[in-house]
Structure 1
Amino acid sequence: MNNTETCNDEQVIIWLDLDIYNENTDYRLTVDILQEINCRVLLFNNSTTCVDHIRSIENTKIFLIISGFFAKQILADIHQLKGLHSIYIFCTNKFEHEHLCTKYRRIAGIYTDRKSLKNSIERNIHIMNKQAFTISLFDQKQKLTKVLSKESGLFLWFQILRNVLKQIDSEHSDEAKQQMINICKNYYQNDVITMKQINKFKESYKSNDAIKWYTAPTFLYRTINQALRTEDLKLMFSLRFFIVDLSIQIHRLFDEQKNTFDLLYRGQILFNEEFQKINNNIGSLISVNTFFSTTKDIEIAKRFVELESCTEEADKTGVLFYIRIDTLHSKTIIFADIEENSLIPDEKEVLFDIGSVFEIENVTYDDHSNLWKVFLVTTDKGSYHMQNYTKFMEYESQETNPAILFGSLLIDIGYTNFAKSYLEYLLETPMKYDQDLANIYHNLGRAIRAQGNFFEAKIYYEYAYEIRKTRDDKFGIARSLIGLGYIYYVLGYHDRAIEYNQQGILLLKYLLKTSDHILIGLALLNIGSVYFTNEKYDVALFYFLEQLFMHNRLFDGEHHYSISPLIEIGNVYRMKQDYKLASRYYKTALMICEKHLPSDSPLKLNTYSRIAYCFEEIRDNQLAFEIYEKILIIQKKFYSESHPNIAQIQLQMEHTRRESINKST
C-alpha cells in the first residue's frame, strides 16, 4: 500500500490494481488526475490488504477503483460494506465486465480511459457533497421558554447564528479573512491541490464572487457545510468572513430578482431515522442547518436522488422535496436563483440562506417513482419563535446582544462545554460596551457552574459584578448578587449567601416596582435552601411557598418554574415526617414535569432524578422505580448501552426494586 497524500477530508479514493506500482507513465498520470479530485488516494496491489483496509475505515466515504481482474474476485465480498460509496471498474475491455453492473448496484460504471473515470468520480463526489445536510425540528406545540428540547434549541440556535456571525464580522476585516485562510491551510496542509486553491482565494477573491466560489469544486463548499452540519462552532466562526459574504450576496440577488417561483425541488437520500423524524412531525417547523440547495427543474432533483440511491446503503430512504413558496407568509425567508452566478449552471439551482425555515405540510409515497414525497412550505414562523425567545430572555436577564444570547441558549439546552468555549471566544472579540463584557463573564459563570466547578464560576461572577458596579447597572448588579448568593450557599458561606440574595431582592423590587420577577423567585429559592440545609424548616417553607405563589401569579397556573419550589416544599414536609403531604407536592411536581418539560431537556432528566430520590426517601419505592424507568428510556436516546450513565441508573433501579420487595415482606 502507498498513501500518496494524507489530509483531512470526508472521502477517500482507493485504487486496486495488480500493476499499480509498475513504472508506467499512465498509472502516474492517472494518480495525478485523481488527486485533482481528492487529495486522499490510496493505492493497493493486493486484494486482501485492500479489503482489510476498507473494513477498517470509519466515517469516510470510499470511492473504489478496481481492475477487471480483481472485480471478478472480490466484488461479491465487498459490495455491501458500509462506507463504500461507489465502485468504478477501470479496465481495457468494457464489454467483458458489463454483466457485473446488473449484479452489483454500487458499480457506477466501467471505464477504459482516465478522463471519463475522472469525470464520473468528480460528479459523484459533487452529488454526495450536495446530499450532505442536517435538519432541526421545532414542535410548535411546545411552550417557548428557556427550557427547550435539544431539537428545538438547535432550531433556534441556527435562527440566531446568522445574525451572530454578521455581528461579529461587522467590520469584515482583512484580519477575519486571514484567520479563515490560516485555518483552511492548517486543515488541508497536506493537500497540494487544495493549498493552491486557498492561495488563489487569498489573491483573487472578491465579495461579489461568493456564489461562484461556493459552487466551484473547491475547499469552500465542503469545509463550510462540514462546519455547519457538525455544529463546529470554532470552525464556523473562523469561516465567518466567507459565510457572511455568501449570505449577503444571496440577499442582494433576492432583492434584485423579485422571484415569483411557486415550487422548487430537491432530491435527497436520508437516513431512515432522519426520514422518520420528518414523517412523524407533519405540521412542525424544519430548519435546514446549511445553505439549502434546491432546483427549478424537478427532473434534475429526481436525477440527484436516483444517482445517489444506486450507491447508498439499505438504511437510507430516497426523498423528493417539494418546496412551495408562500410569499405572503415568508417575508423573512431569503433565497436566490443562482443559475447565472454558479459555475454549474446546468443544475438550475436556487439557494436558500442559512437557517431557512419550512413547515412540513405532508408526506406521501409515490409508487410510480418509488420515492417518498415531502411537501414543505416557506414560513416566517421560525423568525417569530426566535423573536419570542429573545423577548423572554430580555425580560429575564435584560440581555439583548444576539451574540451573548447565543451563548445563553447553549447553556439552556445543556451544551455547557460548547457554551464555555464560545463565550471564551467572545472575550477575544472587541466588545463595544462594558455591559456586554459583564454579561459574557456572567454567562461564563453560569456555564462553569453547570459543570460543577463552583470556585471557578465564582471568579467569573465576580468579574461581572465589579463591571456592573462601576457602571451602576442596577439590574446587572442584582443578577450578580443572586448568582454569587447561590455560589456562596453551595460553598458553605451561608450568612453571606442570605445577605447577597436579600440584597438582590431589594434591588430588583426597587428597580422594577414589583415583587414578582423570575430572578426574585430564584433568590427566594436560594434563601429557602440555606435555611433548609440548616434545618430551619419552617423558615425554609416560608421562602419556598413565597416562590411558588409568585410563580403562580406570574404565569397564571402551571409552569415549569413551579417544579423546584414544589419539590423543596415536599422535602420540608418529608423532614417533618408528614409523608402524605410530601408525596402530594412531589406528585404535583412530577405531573408538571411530564406535562410541560420537553422529553430530551436536561432539566427533565434532572427533575426526574430529584423526584425519584424523594420518593425513595419517603419509601414509595414503586413510584421511584417507575420514574427511574422513564429516565432510562430518555438516556437510551442519547447514550449507548455501555455508557456509565445507563449502568448507574440500572443499578439504582435494581436497588429500588429490592427495597420495594423488602418493604412488602
Structure 2
Amino acid sequence: MEHETWTDEFVKVKGFFTEIESICNLLKQHTTQFDRALSPMSILSPIDYPMNDLNAIEPSFMYSQLLKEILLDAEYEDYARKALTQLWRDGYQNNRFQLKIIDEFERDYNPDLAIWWYTRESFTYSMLNRALRTIDIDHMIKMGFFLCDIHRQIQQIHAETSKIEDLRTVYRGQGMYNTEFEKLQKRIGGILSFNNFLSTSTDREVSLVYAQSSSENSTMIGILFEIDIDIANPSTPFASLNNISYFSSEKEILFSMHSTFRIGEMQKIDEKVWQVKLTSTNNNDEQLQTLTELMRKEISGNTEYDRLGQLMIRMGEFDIAEEIYQILLDEPTGRDDAELAHIYQQIGKIQNEKGEYDQALTFYQKVLDIKQNDQSSNPDDLSTVYTNIGIVYKNMGDYPNALSFYQKSLEIDQKSVPINQNDLATTYSNIGAVHFNMGDYSSALAFYERTLEIEQQLLPNNHPSLATTFNNMGLVYGQMGDDSNALSFYQKSLEIQQRTLLPNHPLLASTYINIGGLHYNMDDYSNALLSFEKALEIREKSLPPNHPSLATIYNNIGIICHSDNDDSTALLFFQKALEIQEESLSIHHPSLATTYNNIGGSHKNLGDYTSAISFYQKAIEVHQKNFSSNHPDLATCYSNIGVVYNKMGNYSNALSFYQKALEIRQISLPSNHRDLAINYKNIGDTYENMEDYSSALSFFEHALKIGQYSFSENRLQLKTFRQCISKMQEKLQMCDNE
C-alpha cells in the first residue's frame, strides 16, 4: 500500500516491481494495448446516412482491399523469401537476437507454419501489422507471400472447422482515440472494416481487461467489441488458434485481414469504456462495392504485377510502380508486341508524373512505333498514345504540339463505333487544359463542361475523375475573376479527393495549391499560406526534390511573403523555384516566365528597379515564344513594367506599358475582371503623378465601376478606389478655387 500511494503522486510511474519478470509482463501488456489501439480500421457510412455522404468510402479501405486482392492472387517465386529476410536484416543489423530468428525463418519457414510465425513473439507480427496499418507499400509487397500464406491457412482451418464447431460470439478489447470513437458513434448501421489481421477471444472477461486498461489513456476510450459471427460465411474467414499459435491458446480467434462487420448498438459499461455490437457481413455488401468494383475494372491488367503497378500509379507511388514495370520489362520470358507496348506506356506515364518529360516522350514514341506498325491495332489504342504524348507536351509548355496531338486523339474518338464516352471526356478535358494555359478561358470552360456532362452520366458521384474536372473548372472561374464559383468547385473537388485518395496523393496537393491561390486573390494570406504549406508537405513526401511541382509551391509561398512586404524571404523562395525549373524544364517553359515575373516583383519592392525590369523582360521573352500577343500573362508583365517606370518617375513609359496591358485585357478578359479594375487604377495613379487630376479621376471611376462587380464589398481594393476618387475630387475642387 505504501508503494501504491507513492506511485499515485507520479503519473509517469506505472508500478512498483521486485522482479524483472513482472516488469516484462507489464511491458508486453502495454505493447499489446498500443498495437490494438493502432489497428487500422475504416468506418463507412450506413446506407441511411445523409445523402451528401452516401459514397464516403474511405481510401484506406478501398486501396487496402484492392491491394489485398492483388497480393493474394499473385504468384511468388523462391526468391521472395530471400528478399523479405534481407529487408528484415537491414532493419535489425545490430540486433543479434532478431538476426538469429531471421536466419531461422529463412531456413525453416513453410506455408503450413505461417500462423505460427505470425503469432511468434518477434518482429514478424509487428512488422506485418505496421505495414498494413501505414499502407507501407514496399514492405507489403515484400511480405506478400507471408501475408498470403497466413490468409490461406486461416481459410483452410475455417473450412475444416466450420462444420464441427458451434461458435457464435467472440470479443475484442482495445482502445480507440476519442475522435475515432465519436466517428464510430455517428455510423451506427454502417460498416467497420479491420484492415489487418484481427485477433479476438471467446473470453469476454479477458477482452474487457484490455478495454479497461486502454481507457487509462486520457486520449482514448476503452472499447469492448462483441462480435456475432456466422461460421458458415466463407467471406469472413477466421481460425481458432488452439495448437496452432506459437503461444497455444484455446481462446484466441484470428480473423483474416480486411474483415468487415456491421456496426450495431452501443452500451456504456462505465465512464470511459463502451461495448459495441458488431455483426459479420458479406464482403459483397452492395454499399462497399460501388466504387471499389469500378476501380477494380480500371486496374484490370495482364498479370497481377501489372495490376499492382497500375494500383501504385493510382496511389501516387511512382517509384514503386516504376520498379514493378522495370521488372516486367526485364523478364526473359517472351511477350508479344501488345504486352511490350503496354509496359512502355505505363513507364511513360510514370516518367511524366515524375516530371521526366523527355524520358516519357521516349517511351511513348516506342508505343507509337509499335501501334503504327501493327495492322491489327485498334484505333482506340492510337488515340490513347496521342493523348499521352499531348499530356507530356502540355506539361513541357509546348501547347501547339499538345493541341495537335489532342486533336488527333479527338478525331479518332469521334469516329469510333460506338463512341467511347470515357475517352471522349478525357480528350475534351485535355483540350480544355491547353486552352486554359493559352489564356482562352471561355473555350477552356466550354470543353470542361462537356467533360463534366459525360462524367456525371457515367461515374459515381465520388469518382476521382470528377474531382479533377471540378478542380479544372475552379481554375477557369478563378482566372475569370469569379471567386465564388471557383471556391465552390474547389471544395467539391477536395471533398471527393479526401474520401478517395490517400493523404499524401499529389492530386490533393494540386487542389490545396488552387485553394491557396484563391485565398490569395481574396487577400486572405494566412489561409493561402496554410493551403500552400499543406501542398508542400504532400509533395515533398511524394515527389523527387527537383520536380517542377515543388517549384510551383515555392513560387506561391514566395508570393505570400511578397504580399506581406517580406521580399528578402520571397526572393529566397523564388530562387529555389528557379533552380528547380532551370534544372528540369526547357529554357522557354511558361513556368520560368512566372518565376521571372515574381523575382522582378521582389526586386521592385526592394528598390532595385533595373533588376526588376530585366526579369520582367525575361518573362516577356518566354511568353512571346509560347503565347499569342493577346495572352493575359503578357498583360501582367507589361503592367508590372509600368509600375516600375511609374516609381522611377518615367510617367510616359509607365502609361505606354499600362496601355499595352489594357488593350490585351480588354480583348482577353471578361469586362468586369478584377485585373481590368487594377489596370485602370494604375493608369489613374500615373495621371495623378502627372497632376492631370481630371484624367486620373476618370480612370479611378472606371476602376471602381468594375471593382464593384469583381471584388467583394469588404475588399481593401474597393476602399482604395473610393479614397482615390475622393482625393481627386478634392484636388479638382482646390484647382477650381484657385
TM, length-normalised to structure 1: 0.67
1:33-72 CA distance string (max 9 Å, x none): xxxxxxxxxxxxxxxxxxxxxxxxxxxxxxxxxxxxxxxx
With over 3 angstroms needed to count, the CA separation of the structure-2 counterparts of 1:571 and 1:634, relative to structure 1, is closer
Match in the other structure for 1:318: 222
1:99-133 CA distance string (max 9 Å, x none): 54565576565444455555555555456555542
Take 2:415 and 2:50, find their aligned partners in 1: how far apart are those partners? 30
Deviation of 1:251 after TM superposition, in Å, equals 0.9
State, as a whole percentage, how many aligned pairs show the same letter: 23
Contact 2:516 2:529 in 1 (8 A): no
- After TM superposition, the structure 1 stretch with the greater mean CA deviation from structure 2, 603-612 or 370-379, is 603-612
Match in the other structure for 2:160: 256
1:137-168 CA distance string (max 9 Å, x none): 34467999xxx98x722211111122222333
Match in the other structure for 1:458: 361
Take 2:414 and 2:464, find their aligned partners in 1: how far apart are those partners? 23
- Correspondent of 1:421 among 320, 345, 351: 320
With over 3 angstroms needed to count, the CA separation of the structure-2 counterparts of 1:489 and 1:213, relative to structure 1, is closer
Deviation of 1:550 after TM superposition, in Å, equals 3.9
With over 3 angstroms needed to count, the CA separation of the structure-2 counterparts of 1:660 and 1:184, relative to structure 1, is same
Contact 2:364 2:385 in 1 (8 A): yes
Which one has a bigger Cα radius of gyration? 2
With over 3 angstroms needed to count, the CA separation of the structure-2 counterparts of 1:263 and 1:649, relative to structure 1, is farther
Match in the other structure for 2:719: 664
Match in the other structure for 1:133: 39
Take 2:525 and 2:159, find their aligned partners in 1: how far apart are those partners? 59
Match in the other structure for 1:505: 410
Deviation of 1:485 after TM superposition, in Å, equals 1.1
Taking only aligned residues, the RMSD between alpha carbons, in angstroms, comes to 4.8
Take 2:288 and 2:367, find their aligned partners in 1: how far apart are those partners? 26
Deviation of 1:384 after TM superposition, in Å, equals 5.2
Contact 1:270 1:317 in 2 (8 A): yes
- Correspondent of 1:481 among 386, 400, 403: 386
With over 3 angstroms needed to count, the CA separation of the structure-2 counterparts of 1:439 and 1:279, relative to structure 1, is farther
Contact 1:438 1:463 in 2 (8 A): yes
1:340 and 2:243 aligned: yes
Match in the other structure for 1:276: 182
Mark the runs of 5 or more structure 1 residues left unpaired by the alignment: 1-94
With over 3 angstroms needed to count, the CA separation of the structure-2 counterparts of 1:316 and 1:551, relative to structure 1, is closer
Take 1:363 and 1:590, find their aligned partners in 2: how far apart are those partners? 37
Structure with the bigger percentage of helix: 2
Partner SS, residue 80 of structure 2: helix
Take 1:358 and 1:379, find their aligned partners in 2: how far apart are those partners? 5
Take 2:21 and 2:297, find their aligned partners in 1: how far apart are those partners? 62
Match in the other structure for 2:275: 373
Take 1:255 and 1:653, find their aligned partners in 2: how far apart are those partners? 67
- Correspondent of 2:255 among 349, 352, 377: 352
With over 3 angstroms needed to count, the CA separation of the structure-2 counterparts of 1:514 and 1:499, relative to structure 1, is farther
1:447-497 CA distance string (max 9 Å, x none): 554454434443444455556667735544332221111211332444432
Match in the other structure for 1:64: none
Match in the other structure for 1:54: none
2:121 aligned partner, one-letter code = P
- After TM superposition, the structure 1 stretch with the greater mean CA deviation from structure 2, 529-538 or 562-571, is 562-571
Take 1:354 and 1:484, find their aligned partners in 2: how far apart are those partners? 40
Match in the other structure for 1:202: 106
Contact 2:225 2:276 in 1 (8 A): yes
Mark the runs of 5 or more structure 2 residues left unpaired by the alignment: 541-552, 566-710, 721-738
Contact 1:600 1:634 in 2 (8 A): no
With over 3 angstroms needed to count, the CA separation of the structure-2 counterparts of 1:496 and 1:324, relative to structure 1, is same
2:278 aligned partner, one-letter code = L
Match in the other structure for 1:67: none
Take 1:650 and 1:139, find their aligned partners in 2: how far apart are those partners? 39
- Give the alignment of 1:53-72 within 5 angstroms: none
Deviation of 1:197 after TM superposition, in Å, equals 1.6
2:410 aligned partner, one-letter code = I
1:153 and 2:59 aligned: yes
Take 1:494 and 1:128, find their aligned partners in 2: how far apart are those partners? 54
Take 2:181 and 2:273, find their aligned partners in 1: how far apart are those partners? 12
- Correspondent of 2:195 among 289, 306, 319: 289
With over 3 angstroms needed to count, the CA separation of the structure-2 counterparts of 1:546 and 1:499, relative to structure 1, is same
Match in the other structure for 1:496: 401
Take 2:371 and 2:424, find their aligned partners in 1: how far apart are those partners? 18
Contact 2:383 2:410 in 1 (8 A): yes
Take 1:662 and 1:178, find their aligned partners in 2: how far apart are those partners? 66
Deviation of 1:267 after TM superposition, in Å, equals 0.9
Take 1:625 and 1:108, find their aligned partners in 2: how far apart are those partners? 47
Contact 2:221 2:272 in 1 (8 A): no
Contact 2:171 2:204 in 1 (8 A): yes
- After TM superposition, the structure 1 stretch with the greater mean CA deviation from structure 2, 608-617 or 403-412, is 608-617
Deviation of 1:271 after TM superposition, in Å, equals 3.0
1:189-244 CA distance string (max 9 Å, x none): 22222222222222322221111222221232122222222322212222223221
Match in the other structure for 2:666: none
With over 3 angstroms needed to count, the CA separation of the structure-2 counterparts of 1:604 and 1:227, relative to structure 1, is closer
With over 3 angstroms needed to count, the CA separation of the structure-2 counterparts of 1:134 and 1:521, relative to structure 1, is same
The answer to which structure, 1 or 2, has the higher relative contact order (CA under 8 A, 6+ apart) is 1
TM, length-normalised to structure 2: 0.61
- Give the alignment of 1:588-603 within 5 angstroms: 589=489, 592-593=492-493, 598=498
With over 3 angstroms needed to count, the CA separation of the structure-2 counterparts of 1:189 and 1:535, relative to structure 1, is closer
- Give the alignment of 1:468-617 within 5 angstroms: 472=377, 474-511=379-416, 513-531=417-435, 533-534=437-438, 543-544=447-448, 546-551=450-455, 554=458, 586=486, 589=489, 592-593=492-493, 598=498, 606-607=510-511, 610=514
Match in the other structure for 1:57: none
- Give the alignment of 1:379-398 within 5 angstroms: 379-381=281-283, 388-389=290-291, 391-393=293-295
Match in the other structure for 2:143: 239
1:284-309 CA distance string (max 9 Å, x none): 43322321111111111112334555
With over 3 angstroms needed to count, the CA separation of the structure-2 counterparts of 1:199 and 1:616, relative to structure 1, is closer
1:662 aligned partner, one-letter code = Q
Deviation of 1:353 after TM superposition, in Å, equals 1.0
Contact 1:250 1:334 in 2 (8 A): yes
Take 1:304 and 1:165, find their aligned partners in 2: how far apart are those partners? 32
Take 1:557 and 1:501, find their aligned partners in 2: how far apart are those partners? 26
With over 3 angstroms needed to count, the CA separation of the structure-2 counterparts of 1:272 and 1:596, relative to structure 1, is closer
Match in the other structure for 1:188: 92
With over 3 angstroms needed to count, the CA separation of the structure-2 counterparts of 1:348 and 1:485, relative to structure 1, is same
With over 3 angstroms needed to count, the CA separation of the structure-2 counterparts of 1:469 and 1:126, relative to structure 1, is farther
